[in-house]
């Protein structure tokens, strides 16, 4: 099997590290060839805090995926998230020297590069600059300015910012695991690509990805990403609370949460009790499920309320910005019983659980289509897209070399505008991280 047709997503999470190998089948869907997972020990709230342990976990996950698929992994697409990610809205403009010419890619690049000069806090770097809508000479709500006339081009941008050191640390872990960095993607975007349909993105939807260490939010409207946020709480704080509240060890707390946990205390009768073996000859502990649910409920409410504040910050309450498709929950935390009902109750928005089967091949494993793997599936898709772009660029470059430089008349010139794919900032960021790592060795 050709190696340039497969893509590997590496989801470096707080709880688990997943390596997933996929390729496009003939219907354009992603077919998952192998998956490996390892317990993540060196990551806290989405940020690497122990390089050695993270490298070991990455290698373990990668070996498992290689063993299952029989494919050797060389390059990976990694996701970045974590509590250091923040986003802001910014508008900027350029004045064009010649308004007789139509606006082209270069004007937009100039405008976007200007946003990159924004002054950030020390140690922060711009990860994504996502244009929202454009204005030309004061005429608003222009979605695609290319080909239009105008002297002043301005745009609103959604700018995502993160800490350079955290991004480099992830890059470092990948490189030290003997892998090449193919691309870097924002995790909320990857999860969104895996579980949301185009209709939902058009209608307006908030994707809430509840991970172990963080809860990521991505808001879409009119098919464009409008807001992103990372809330530094996830499933692990729920487990912590159960551990503290019931005086049991973490492993037991995690099992209790998964097996008997519910986000809705009213569900349990007063007399439902779970008995937990005591440590080393101590008496077993009895825990009522009602208490368990109360503990979980309190913490989940807190997480959802913080996410809801972010949804309101985006402006969901304005008529024009209403999220008609409501909320989609994904990530491992989305498996908590009665979570959907609780989220609907708190936000008053329609809610569904998002499974990453939107773009998966029909015969995929049940296991892979679990919300747990949304980010990994999204990263695989992202890698496949990136390769597609590279192939097209290569083909175009080859064509340009073959085509003999004949002299075109002016009319012909107009007919054939060469569409140059704009490199996304993540590609540039990946280049920068790669350069940094190569020079740092």
> Which pLDDT tens digits describe the chain residue by residue (441 residues)?
555 689 999 999 999 999 999 999 888 889 999 999 999 999 999 899 999 999 999 999 999 999 999 999 999 999 988 889 888 999 999 999 998 999 999 999 999 999 988 888 899 988 888 899 999 999 998 999 999 999 999 999 999 999 999 999 999 999 999 999 998 989 999 999 999 999 999 999 999 999 999 999 999 999 999 999 999 999 999 999 999 999 999 999 999 999 999 999 887 777 889 999 888 888 999 999 999 999 999 999 999 999 999 999 998 889 999 999 999 999 999 999 999 999 999 999 999 999 998 888 887 788 888 999 999 999 999 999 998 888 888 888 888 877 755 554 444 444 444 444 556 667 777 887 888 778 876
CATH number of 235-299: 3.30.420.40
- The two tokens of residue 248 are 């049991």
Q: How many residues does the chain have?
A: 441
φ/ψ of 178, rounded to 5, equals: 80, 25
């Amino acid at each position: 099997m050709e190696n340039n047709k497969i893509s590997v997503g590496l989801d470096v999470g707080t709880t688990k590290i997943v390596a997933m190998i996929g390729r496009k089948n003939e219907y354009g869907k992603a077919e998952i060839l192998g998956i490996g997972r390892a317990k993540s020990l060196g990551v806290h709230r989405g940020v690497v805090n122990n390089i050695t342990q993270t490298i070991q976990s990455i290698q373990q996950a990668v070996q498992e995926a290689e063993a299952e698929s029989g494919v050797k992994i060389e390059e990976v697409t990694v996701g970045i998230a974590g509590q250091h990610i923040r986003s802001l809205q910014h508008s900027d403009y350029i004045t064009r020297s010649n308004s007789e010419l139509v606006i082209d890619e270069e004007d937009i690049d100039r405008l976007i590069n200007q946003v990159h000069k924004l002054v950030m806090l020390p140690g922060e770097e711009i990860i994504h600059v996502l244009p929202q809508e454009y204005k030309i000479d004061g005429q608003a709500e222009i979605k695609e300015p290319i080909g239009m006339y105008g002297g002043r081009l301005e745009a609103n941008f959604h700018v995502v910012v993160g800490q350079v050191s955290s991004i480099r640390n992830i890059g470092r872990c990948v490189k030290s695991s003997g892998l090449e960095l193919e691309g870097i993607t924002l995790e909320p975007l990857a999860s969104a690509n895996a579980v949301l349909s185009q209709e939902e993105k058009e209608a307006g939807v908030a994707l809430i990805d509840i991970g172990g260490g963080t809860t990521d939010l991505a808001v879409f409207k009119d098919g464009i990403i409008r807001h992103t946020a990372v809330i530094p709480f996830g499933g692990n704080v729920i487990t912590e609370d159960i551990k503290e509240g019931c005086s049991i060890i973490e492993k037991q707390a995690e099992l209790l949460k998964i097996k008997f946990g519910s986000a809705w205390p009213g569900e349990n009768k007063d007399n439902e009790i779970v008995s937990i073996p005591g440590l080393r000859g101590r008496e077993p502990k009895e825990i009522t499920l009602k208490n368990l649910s109360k503990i979980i409920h309190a913490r989940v409410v807190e997480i959802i309320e913080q996410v809801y504040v972010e949804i309101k910050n985006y402006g969901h309450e304005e008529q024009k910005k209403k999220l008609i498709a409501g909320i989609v929950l994904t990530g491992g935390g989305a498996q908590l019983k009665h979570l959907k009902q609780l989220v609907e109750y708190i936000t008053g928005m329609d809610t569904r659980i998002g499974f990453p089967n939107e773009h998966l091949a029909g015969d995929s494993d049940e296991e892979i289509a679990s919300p747990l793997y949304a980010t990994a599936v999204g990263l695989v898709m992202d890698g496949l897209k990136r390769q597609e772009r590279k192939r097209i660029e290569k083909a175009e470059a080859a064509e340009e070399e073959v085509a003999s430089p004949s002299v075109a008349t002016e009319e012909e010139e107009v007919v054939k505008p060469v569409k140059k794919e704009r490199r996304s900032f993540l590609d540039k960021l990946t280049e920068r991280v790669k350069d940094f790592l190569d020079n740092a060795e």
